[in-house]
Amino acid sequence: MPRYDITEAYLFDSYARNEADEESDVDICIECGDSITLFSLGGPGVALEAALGRSVDVVCGSNSFHPRAQQRYLKDRNLLYAKS
């Protein structure tokens, strides 16, 4: 994921809680460097959808969550990638 200036990526929601079913999408939260824009977020999402064969929702930054949703996100998230 260095190609997208992503510093961390987390799986959250139903897949992170092992509650996903055949209709579940994959929810990913990415922490980004300064060079990523809202428009460029589509790149990682499209690449992940192609690789996984299912719908992927990408959120940029854990601060974009409503406070209640952020608490649940912080509790349930699973680290997928960390820039070294």
pLDDT in tens, 15-44: 999 999 999 999 999 887 765 555 556 677
Q: What is the pTM of this model?
A: 0.82
pLDDT above 60 (res 70): yes
Neighbour tally for 16: CB within 10 Å: 21
Q: With respect to CATH, is domain 2-82 assigned 3.30.460.10?
A: yes
Instruction: Judge whether 33 and 6 are in contact, CB under 8 Å.
Output: yes
Domain boundaries along the sequence of the chain: 2-82
Q: How far apart are CA 69 and CA 46, in angstroms?
A: 24
What are the counts of helices (DSSP H) followed by strands (DSSP E) for the chain?
2, 4
